[in-house]
Amino acid sequence: MGNSKSGALSKEILEDLKLNTKYTEEELCKWYESFQKQCPDGRISRAEFEKIYGNFFPNSDPKVYARHVFRSFDTNDDGTLDFREYIIALHLTSSGKTNLKLEWAFSLFDVDRNGEINKTEVLEIISAIFKMIPPEEQKLLPEDENTPQKRTDKLWTYFKKGENDKIAEGEFISGVMKNEAIMKLIQYEPKK
Ligand SMILES: [Ca+2]
């Protein structure tokens, strides 16, 4: 790849990302180059992140979802992500390994970061996910999954929870892991 100019991706971060994501060295270097062009100070803002997310979902509205994704990775709340956090975010939200992905998904749903998720939080995130489904695909959804409220109720019933109950992280991960249909409720991948 001959990426020898200064400002290139450090070996350490490159190795770390190769190990922890599905991306190749070539892809990572290419992304780093465009990342640097877009964010010369090495950090990506929430608005820029939302814009990039928008490119992946041209037929729907991923803005609210992108905002939650950003929040879940911006753990120190400084309003920016560095390149490493940014790549991990893209990786986990697209096709990370299930356990890690579900750990992340839990942090996405735990909007107020108190270590458990309640039904209001689930509805908030599922509504954001729902907005990413293009309208023509929404029409084809099963009757019991075709609104954010129905999806939230379905998930809540699956976990056998009452209105004011909460779900802890371990319970969430093992529960979702066991059920493909519930896994599908909490994510959306655009059709290629
Ligand atoms: Ca919470």
Q: Is the dihedral of CA 28, 192, 176, 145 positive or negative?
A: positive
Q: Which of 171, 188, 192 is nearest to 93 (CA)?
A: 188
Distance (Å) of CA 108 to CA 65, 105, 161? 9, 5, 19
Q: 160 C-alpha vs ligand 1 centroid, how far in Å?
A: 18
Q: 2 C-alpha vs ligand 1 centroid, how far in Å?
A: 46
Per-residue pLDDT band for 1 (boundaries 50, 70, 90) equals very low
Which residue would you say has higher pLDDT here, 166 or 19? 166
Q: 62 C-alpha vs ligand 1 centroid, how far in Å?
A: 22
Q: Which of 72, 78, 88, 159 is nearest to 124 (CA)?
A: 72
Q: 72 C-alpha vs ligand 1 centroid, how far in Å?
A: 12
Q: 86 C-alpha vs ligand 1 centroid, how far in Å?
A: 23
Domains of the chain, by residue range, sit at: 12-94, 98-185
Q: What is the pLDDT of residues 131-188, one digit of tens each?
A: 999 999 999 999 999 999 999 999 999 999 999 999 999 999 999 999 999 999 998 8
What does the pLDDT read at residue 2?
43
Which residue would you say has higher pLDDT here, 94 or 3? 94
Q: Which of 164, 13, 171, 187 is nearest to 92 (CA)?
A: 187
Report field, pTM of the whole predicted structure over 0.75: yes
Q: How many residues does the chain have?
A: 192
The CATH classification of domain 98-185, taken from the options 3.40.50.150, 3.30.2270.10, 3.40.718.10, 1.10.238.10: 1.10.238.10
Q: What is the pLDDT of residues 76-127, one digit of tens each?
A: 889 999 999 989 888 888 777 788 899 999 999 999 999 999 999 999 999 9
Q: What is the pLDDT of residues 34-64, one digit of tens each?
A: 899 888 899 999 999 999 888 888 899 999 9
Ion ligand 1 neighbours, Cβ < 5 Å? 110, 112, 114
Question: Would you call 96 helix, strand, or coil by DSSP?
Answer: coil
CA distance 53 to 73: 14
Q: 118 C-alpha vs ligand 1 centroid, how far in Å?
A: 6
Only one residue has tokens 């780093």, namely: 32
Q: Which backbone phi and psi does 80 adopt, to 5 degrees?
A: -140, 160
H/E segment holding residue 161: none
Distance (Å) of CA 57 to CA 102, 131, 172, 177? 22, 10, 27, 26
Q: 171 C-alpha vs ligand 1 centroid, how far in Å?
A: 14
Q: Do the first three CATH levels of 12-94 and 98-185 match, i.e. the same topology? A: yes
Q: 110 C-alpha vs ligand 1 centroid, how far in Å?
A: 4
CA distance 156 to 133: 21
What does the pLDDT read at residue 159?
98
CA distance 29 to 25: 6
CATH class of 12-94: mainly alpha
Q: 138 C-alpha vs ligand 1 centroid, how far in Å?
A: 28
Q: 112 C-alpha vs ligand 1 centroid, how far in Å?
A: 5
